[in-house]
Amino acid sequence: MIKINVQRLMKHIKDLSKFGHDPNGGVTRFPFTAEEREAKRYIVHLMKQIGLEIYEDEIGNLFGKRVGTDSALPSILIGSHLDTVKNGGMFDGALGVLAGIEILQTMMEQGIQTRHSISVAAFTDEEGVRFSTGMLGSRALTGELQEEELFQYKDENGISIADGMVQCGYNPKLVHRARRCSKEFKAFLELHIEQGKVLESEQAPVGIVTGIVGVKWLKVTIRGEEGHAGTTPMAMRKDPVTVAARLIDFVEQKAQQSDGLRATVGSIRVFPGSINVIPREVELFFDIRHLSWELICQMEDDIQMFLSACCNTKGMTFTVEATHELKPVSCSPVLIEAIRTAAKRTGTKFLMLPSGAAHDAMILASLTKIGMVFVRSKDGISHSPLEWSDADDIEAAANILLHALLDIAEAEKI
Ligand SMILES: [Zn+2]
């Protein structure tokens, strides 16, 4: 059975992590910086070594294509992103790009040709930390990224995305040219670390992703009546904090009861916020996630109902406002099946699971069929210098992707 060379892949992962090596720990490789350019130069070097056709688009996405025997067929895209968060790890994103190159190198060494072309992509600015946005590269590919955004978003030094692009030799006015059409692609497959503890707890080295969860952010404002903490009897109070506390408990219980639903209150603001004053207003910020958009919306309705019941009797008011929405996407059943078959063929234990975090694949779902393979993360840690995945797990996942690709890209031995 054909296998990738995991020692070589691990060496490439280590080598790449030197570009943006942060003296405070981990890797800091922001988009449109010298570190990112060096990392790209390294990727180009690896791509050239195995004879890939190299192409960089107007937002800086890098592609290395291994041309198939039938160039009229749509190509298959694999890969991930090269940027990191501040003091991030060396696997998040980089693994998908380097594993893609390793897979194509293995095919080359084994004399395997595919009917469909296969391109490895390194997407620009997935994390979005520098400019408080994100998925720039994949959004440029689908045509979702607007030119205005490049001038609007700035980093902490006041440098806009457009400024950063110009500094690196790109023309922000030409970003629309990065747009690609659906007909060009048969599929996108992304190999990524899990960034969670599910695979570890199930002792599975590899996960097959069923879909990427949708997200709704809700800003809930509950209004009561300000009062003196000492002189206002308990029965006469209109205290929004007590309603907020009940609501948080209600939502937590609801989420526990429904499979896979995640609900978090990550931020609470109390006004006026003095220890001896009954607050007049509370703001709660909910993050709700699930693979089913209906379930997310059902939770929003439940919050409305709960607040109506609590507030109406006390003469208090509330508003529920959705501040951010991202619909869930499903991975293609055909690709899931190909990955499952490959996992069985390679004898790897796997788990089917949704992705709780967003990825480039989520964006590319509007362009082509998507599939994702996860690698177990040690202690579920990511976005940290402690991020780690074992070589054995990486090998298993990359071999699964290799065998799935042999099937999807219609391999023929020459
Ligand atoms: Zn990532």
Mean pLDDT of 96-119: 97
User: How remote is the CA of residue 26 from the centroid of ligand 1, in Å?
Assistant: 15
296 in any annotated domain? yes
**290 plus 196 within the same structural domain:** no
**69 plus 200 within the same structural domain:** yes
Predicted pLDDT of residue 114? 97
169 in any annotated domain? yes
386 in any annotated domain? yes
Is the pLDDT assigned to residue 319 strictly greater than 90? yes
Tell me the per-residue pLDDT of 273-316, one tens digit each, with 9 for 90 and over.
999 999 999 999 999 999 999 999 999 999 999 999 999 988 99
pLDDT band (50, 70, 90) for residue 414 = low
User: How remote is the CA of residue 94 from the centroid of ligand 1, in Å?
Assistant: 8
Is the pLDDT assigned to residue 360 strictly greater than 90? yes
User: How remote is the CA of residue 295 from the centroid of ligand 1, in Å?
Assistant: 26
Domain boundary among 304, 326, 348: 326
Mean pLDDT of 330-358: 97
User: How remote is the CA of residue 92 from the centroid of ligand 1, in Å?
Assistant: 5
**186 plus 252 within the same structural domain:** no
User: How remote is the CA of residue 2 from the centroid of ligand 1, in Å?
Assistant: 27
CATH number for the domain spanning 227: value is 3.30.70.360
User: How remote is the CA of residue 81 from the centroid of ligand 1, in Å?
Assistant: 6
Is the pLDDT assigned to residue 383 strictly greater than 80? yes
Residue 7: how many other CB atoms lie within 10 Å: 10
Task: Please tell me whether the peptide bond between 272 and the residue prior to it is cis, using omega within 30 degrees of 0.
Answer: yes
User: How remote is the CA of residue 316 from the centroid of ligand 1, in Å?
Assistant: 43
Tell me the per-residue pLDDT of 145-196, one tens digit each, with 9 for 90 and over.
999 999 999 999 999 999 999 999 999 999 999 999 999 999 999 999 999 9
Mean pLDDT of 134-150: 96
Give the domain extent around 280. 214-326
292 in any annotated domain? yes
307 in any annotated domain? yes
Mean pLDDT of 199-203: 97
User: How remote is the CA of residue 158 from the centroid of ligand 1, in Å?
Assistant: 25
**196 plus 332 within the same structural domain:** yes
Nearest to 226 by CA among 316, 145, 287, 142: 316
113: part of which helix (H) or strand (E)?
strand 112-114
**38 plus 161 within the same structural domain:** yes
Q: Bridge partners of 340?
A: none
pLDDT above 90 covers what percent of the chain?
A: 96
User: How remote is the CA of residue 409 from the centroid of ligand 1, in Å?
Assistant: 25
User: How remote is the CA of residue 361 from the centroid of ligand 1, in Å?
Assistant: 10
**241 plus 111 within the same structural domain:** no
Q: From CA 340, how far away is CA 184, in angstroms rounded?
A: 25
Is the pLDDT assigned to residue 410 strictly greater than 90? yes
**270 plus 130 within the same structural domain:** no
**257 plus 240 within the same structural domain:** yes
User: How remote is the CA of residue 383 from the centroid of ligand 1, in Å?
Assistant: 9
Tokens of 225: 């009546």
381 in any annotated domain? yes
Mean pLDDT of 197-211: 98
User: How remote is the CA of residue 122 from the centroid of ligand 1, in Å?
Assistant: 11
Mean pLDDT of 54-81: 97
CATH number for the domain spanning 143: value is 3.40.630.10
**319 plus 371 within the same structural domain:** no
User: How remote is the CA of residue 192 from the centroid of ligand 1, in Å?
Assistant: 7
Q: Bridge partners of 373?
A: 191, 208
Predicted pLDDT of residue 155? 95
User: How remote is the CA of residue 86 from the centroid of ligand 1, in Å?
Assistant: 13
Q: Tell me the three-class secondary structure of 284-326, residue by residue.
A: EEEEEEECCHHHHHHHHHHHHHHHHHHHHHHCCEEEEEEEEEE
User: How remote is the CA of residue 111 from the centroid of ligand 1, in Å?
Assistant: 31
Residue 385: how many other CB atoms lie within 10 Å: 16
1 in any annotated domain? no
Predicted pLDDT of residue 120? 98
Q: From CA 273, how far away is CA 289, in angstroms rounded?
A: 29
Domain boundary among 293, 326, 359: 326
Residue appearing with tokens 């893609």: 100
Predicted pLDDT of residue 403? 97
Predicted pLDDT of residue 326? 87
User: How remote is the CA of residue 359 from the centroid of ligand 1, in Å?
Assistant: 6
**202 plus 243 within the same structural domain:** no
Predicted pLDDT of residue 413? 67
Strands (E) in 309-377, as ranges, are 317-326, 329-330, 350-355, 369-375
Predicted pLDDT of residue 313? 87
User: How remote is the CA of residue 176 from the centroid of ligand 1, in Å?
Assistant: 24
Mean pLDDT of 380-396: 97
User: How remote is the CA of residue 136 from the centroid of ligand 1, in Å?
Assistant: 13
Tell me which residues have their CB within 5 A of the ion that is ligand 1.
92-93
User: How remote is the CA of residue 324 from the centroid of ligand 1, in Å?
Assistant: 20
User: How remote is the CA of residue 341 from the centroid of ligand 1, in Å?
Assistant: 25
Q: Bridge partners of 156?
A: none
Domain boundary among 277, 292, 326: 326
User: How remote is the CA of residue 89 from the centroid of ligand 1, in Å?
Assistant: 10
User: How remote is the CA of residue 154 from the centroid of ligand 1, in Å?
Assistant: 21
**138 plus 30 within the same structural domain:** yes
Q: How many independent structural domains does the chain possess?
A: 2
3-class DSSP state for residue 9? helix
Strands (E) in 162-303, as ranges, are 185-193, 206-212, 214-223, 227-228, 262-271, 277-278, 281-290
**204 plus 112 within the same structural domain:** yes
User: How remote is the CA of residue 306 from the centroid of ligand 1, in Å?
Assistant: 37
Is the pLDDT assigned to residue 95 strictly greater than 80? yes
